Amino acid sequence: MSERVYNVLFVCAGNSARSAFGEMLVNRWGAGNFVGHSAGSAPSDEVHPLALKLLTEQGHDVSGLHTKSWLKYSHDEAEAMDFVFTVCDDAAAESCPTWPGEPITAHWSIPDPAKASGSPAEQMIAFREAYAMLEMRVKLFLSLPLAKLDRIAIHHEVTKIGQLAHAA
């Protein structure tokens, strides 16, 4: 296990599903070498109930999970992030703040499950698809040999990961 611990921030507009999934997945699969965080540019009042249901079904402890503003991570005294991934097109299109620590950034577009229509079961399918896509990308990211790559190569790799479609 590496002594280096990397902070990873997932940003979305509402911080109610996709970015929260990213936070929880990094914390699960990061084996103590990565710490996941999430935030929104305009955070919702709460994490989406279907997101909480899915995370609970997947065995995540959601007791401390809540929505946060990206301002928590963008001021000079904030904990420095090593990576910042936008997971929604709305947040990616906004002028993101300057992140302390000059993190490596990439856009990992994931369709917004909160916008899914239909029955609750049909809506849950959208949440499961978003979760699965993020899980695949997080696992690929966590498998990168970061200690052996320079900053440009790491940026290239995380950008490629963000362009991958979900393999069903």
* Domains of the chain in sequence order: 6-156 (3.40.50.2300)
18 within 8 A of 41, measured Cβ to Cβ = no
Q: Identify the band that residue 94 occupies on the pLDDT scale cut at 50, 70 and 90.
A: low
User: Which whole number is the average pLDDT over 101-109?
Assistant: 92
- Asked if 88 and 18 count as a contact pair (C-beta separation under 8 A), the reply is yes
* Res 98 pLDDT > 90: no
Alpha-carbon distances, residue 138 vs 8, 25, 45, 97, 115 (angstroms): 10, 7, 26, 23, 23
* Model pLDDT for residues 120-162, shown as the tens digit of each residue: 999 999 999 999 999 999 999 999 999 999 999 999 999 999 9
Q: In the Cβ-directed half-sphere of 127, how many Cα atoms lie within 13 Å?
A: 25
pLDDT at residue 90 in the model: 66
Q: What is the pTM of this model?
A: 0.92
Report residue 22's pLDDT band, with 50, 70 and 90 as the boundaries.
very high
SS3 label, residue 102:
coil
Partnered with residue 84 across adjacent β-strands are 9, 105
pLDDT at residue 1 above 50?
no
pLDDT tens digits for range 59-75 = 999 999 999 999 999 88
Q: Rounded mean pLDDT of the chain?
A: 91
Rg (CA), the chain: 15
